[in-house]
Amino acid sequence: MQDELSSRDWRELLESVQKICLCEGVTELQETALECVRGLIPSRQGIFFVSREGKGEGDDPRAFCRPVVVGAKARYIDEFLQGRYTGDEDRDFFFCGEGHLGKEAVTFRASDKISERYLESTRIYREMYVPQGIHYALRSFLFYKGRPAGLIILFNAKEQGDFTDRQTEILAILAPYVAKRLGMLVEEERAAGSGLDKAYWKKNYLLTPRELEIASLIVEGVADVDITSALCITPATFKKHVYNIYRKLGVNDRGGLFRRYLDAEGR
């Protein structure tokens, strides 16, 4: 059968598992896993999120942070992470609840859960999918020690067609290895401590004390609504600070901020 895994598929899967197990940092793992997956499963775009510890319930997008993207540039990441698309018409397919009900990796095509007609009727499809030229999605929710660890999403354009059973099986095989390595690396990060080296960031990026405070909370994965509440500032003031942080760092979104943070940690 065409959808059966070939001996070549299994060799490439084994090589991918070896590369994944050798990763020494979370971002390195995200990039390596995505490149391995897209080598086996051609797609327009791939995104790898890390679960935010203690944040978000069920299918709330704020349960995820630290996106790494390969392939076509991802747009609207900030809007998504800020919870703009959490209404009833969006949540059913974008972060399906099935991904949070079990304690092991769950891999599925969006088309297995919802109809194409329903997909195209949603606001998130009109505002995020169409402008990026994406249509079909393949997702894998990752778990480590019975808790959410991350999420991998692959997207195809409509003309590329939906993901096949074979491609879904490939991602399902890789997912537990990615989940285990991700969970171990995140544990190592937390044991080593997190947050910004504020002296370094103040000297090199000229961030104000308030900007340092906000940037540190962002890289720790604290949700925007929790930051504004903790600091007693309005959403508008928060957005202004974030804009200034991005400008000073020369980045456009949270992904860029996390890369600056990780670069500083490895200096």
Does 28 score more than 60 pLDDT? yes
pTM of the model: 0.70
Superfamily of domain 7-191, CATH level 4: Transcription factor LuxR-like, autoinducer-binding domain (3.30.450.80)
Q: For residues 19 and 30, what is the distance between their CA atoms, to the nearest angstrom? A: 11
Q: What are the distances in angstroms from CA 34 to CA 4, 183, 211?
A: 22, 16, 32
Highest mean pLDDT, choosing among 8-17, 22-31, 186-195, 228-237 = 8-17
**258 within 8 A of 66, measured Cβ to Cβ:** yes
Does 224 score more than 90 pLDDT? no
Q: For residues 3 and 16, what is the distance between their CA atoms, to the nearest angstrom? A: 20
Residue 261: pLDDT band (50, 70, 90) is confident
DSSP for 79-92 reads: HHHTTTT-SHHHHH
**41 within 8 A of 154, measured Cβ to Cβ:** yes
Domain parsing of the chain, residue ranges: 7-191, 198-265
Q: What are phi and psi of 142, to 5 degrees?
A: -105, 140
- Does domain 198-265 bear CATH number 3.30.1490.190? no
Q: For residues 245 and 25, what is the distance between their CA atoms, to the nearest angstrom? A: 24
Q: What are phi and psi of 73, to 5 degrees?
A: -60, 135
Q: From the CA atom positions of the chain, what is the Rg in Å?
A: 19
User: What's the pLDDT tens digit per position in 58-113?
Assistant: 445 457 778 888 988 877 777 666 666 655 555 544 554 444 455 566 899 989 88
